Chain A
Amino acid sequence: MKVTSFLGLVISGLAMIFGCLSLATNSLEAYPVPILCALFLALTALFIDIKLSRKETKLSIIFVAALTLISAVILRILPLYLHGFNFNGVIHRSIISAILLIGLGVPAMCFSLLYLLGATPKAYDISRYPLLVLPICIVLAVYAMIIFKIIAAGVPRLNWALLVTPFKYQIWDVEVWQNGWPNFVSKTVQQIGLLNSILGTFMLMGLTALISLPIGIGVGIFVHQYARPKLGGVIRFSSTALRAISGIILAITALSLAHVVNNAFHDTFLNYLVQGFGYYGNGTMLTGRSSFLFASLFVSLLVIPVIARSTEEGLKSLPKDIMEGSLAVGASEEHTLTHISLPWSLPNIVTGLVLGCAEAAGALSIIFLMSGAGELGVNPLSETTSLAYFIFDCRFGTQMGDVVETYMGSYQYTAAFVLLVITIGLTVAALIMKNKLAKRYKGA
């Protein structure tokens, strides 16, 4: 029985590997049918072996074997390209073969593992691993492909100068005297770099955290501690609903608000506050699409519910008797809140903040619609810019009317790599901080 089940294991492993490869490429058309036939033979051999040595009739094995044979026949008959059902799309046969190979390879591998390990209860548990491991492997493979692409295309172009130079492309006229007459010559300042986008990412995250942390924690405390059940339910529902509003709706709202402000308060401080402003190389003041402050206000709308919810969960997880113990020594509710409940829920709040900031740093339609290249500086009242937008701009800048694509189009993967490093770094830092806080305030 060892020999047949080992054979089954090898062939089903082969089937799964070829199945995964067929998902990515369609040049493996020669292999699925022979592999399925081999799998059929191996399963039949395993069935006969069990029948002879253990005197058991395993109908499930012969059923899978039959399915294998049928799918081999189907694959042989199928044309190379499938289309029908009035769809315009065309499906290559390799997709079908991938599905069949993976779908039949997994149960075959389970059977083989079970009998290779002697069909004990322990072996029964282990033989279920392929079912659990396969989806994980597929997900990890997808992640690996994405990260590999970013690293392979981005890292070779990464250099220190790129990280410490802000992107600039500015043209203005300079008055030059020639032969006693004034003449206007256009002067161009042009430099490529990522510094303003990197700083902009941090500025956006920082401002968002600054706005949303106090409000989010306040809402969480209010809902948990002071609100009556009905009011708490209403607040909880509306914050969840706010979370569910897609970013593009908020972005459109923000843009129209900015437009209204621009029309009504043109050239006033309020206008600059909303639109963001900066100075050109020759000293001219320019306004942008929206300022960091204005954009982070709208990003905060998405982050506040997350922080409020995690604060509330943290407060809820405090055992009731610890809170009562605090009240029982004469401490006021406010003292209990600041000295027991809030420290206890700090790890939760950090988690919420990280989730929120990852959102602020990453793909958000708010950022996409409200950002610019950020040539005019990075301070709360400058035009919003962030790496996420910059990557987008490197790819589609021309269509957006930006010059970034022309000058930095080849750096898109480098920018993506920098964003990846920043977000992963922040997440890891927050995780470490969370563990330290949990140890410090929960006594772990």
Chain B
Amino acid sequence: MMSTEVMDKKVPTTYMKNIRKPGGIEIKGLEVFYGQKQILKGIDLVFPPSQVTAIIGPSGCGKTTLLRCLNRLSELAPGCKVKGEILLDNEDILKMDPMLLRQRVGMVFQKANPFPKSIKENVLYGVKAIKLKCDHDETVKSCLEKAALWNELKDRLHESAFALSIGQQQRLCIARTLAIAPEVILLDEPASSLDPISTMTLEASIMEMKGEYTQIIVTHNMNEALKVSDYVAFLYAGKLIEFGETKKIFNNPGRQETQDYITGKVY
């Protein structure tokens, strides 16, 4: 499938030229149903561009569902209904072609899921799939550099991605997402299966990407949210309880529930 947007750009030849302006996402009255069960009960939220927003909340409150709505992966589940409006740069994503949307909104999953291919092919998979015009070697280098993998892997580019450690696999997934030059990157508990050192490297990558991409990260780890995010959204039982700057939420939350969750009192 040819991305119309990229075609309009007079065929940029390098990866750097493909990078899009980070986009903001605005959610208006989002409701999600799985069959009869309502997961999200009317959410209004704005993810500011170029910033890192953390979504926190107890298990089963709909964090992942919200995230998967943003690139319409939620539609893959049978019986899933999405109501409301989600605007990416003032464009309703529910009316966009999902393939074109996913080129602009990349995602990193909870479990590292590299493709059963070589490291290089993994990074270039999206580029080849959406026929993005760029210099392949340069793309691999710059993406792996951004994901803090280049120094470790520059001599092993043709080895299978399954031979890497879990932490490296997860960072490879980030590199793979960066290669399609998205505007927004969704991270679904990316550090949940990583050891502390890999987690630190991953967090460093997220901090480094700040400004170039709009990042939305779902996390259970309060320290992580405090460390990497600029804004925090607290979800509870399918509803948005509080949204605000990280410092404000952690130091001076407006709602009692938020205070209790952050300090670990209930839930």
Contact = CB atoms under 8 A, between A and B. Distances in A.
Interface string A326-339: 11111110010001
Interface string A425-444: 00000000000000001111
A343 interface: yes
B100 A330 contact: yes
Interface residues of B, number: 31
Nearest to B161: A443
A321 B130 contact: no
Given A330-B100, A330-B130, A325 B113 contact: yes
Say what secondary structure dominates the interface of chain A. Answer: helix
* Interface-central residue, A321, A331, A340, by most chain B CB under 10 Å: A331
A443 B173 CA distance: 16
Contacts of A443: 116-117, 160-163
B16 interface: no
B266 interface: no
B144 interface: no
Interface in A302-327: 319, 321-322, 324-327
Q: How large is the interface on A (under 10, 10 to 19, 20 to 34, 35 or more residues)?
A: 20 to 34
Given A339-B129, A443-B162, A328 B99 contact: no
A329 B113 contact: no
A330 B129 contact: yes
A441 B116 contact: yes
A326 B115 contact: yes
Nearest to B163: A443
A439 to B, nearest CB: 9
Contacts of A324: 73, 76, 109, 113
A331 B129 CA distance: 5
B197 interface: no
Contacts of B177: 328-329
Given A321-B111, A344-B116, A443-B162, A327 B102 contact: yes
Contacts of B162: 443-444
B155 to A, nearest CB: 19
B107 interface: yes
A329 B103 CA distance: 6
B57 interface: no
B113 A321 contact: yes
Interface string A389-417: 00000000000000000000000000000
B176 interface: yes
B109 A329 contact: no
Contacts of B179: 329
8 contacts: A321-B109, A324-B73, A324-B76, A326-B129, A328-B107, A329-B125, A344-B116, A443-B117
Given A321-B113, A325-B114, 16 more contacts: A321-B109, A321-B111, A322-B113, A325-B113, A325-B173, A327-B102, A329-B129, A329-B179, A330-B100, A330-B126, A330-B129, A331-B126, A332-B99, A339-B125, A339-B129, A443-B161
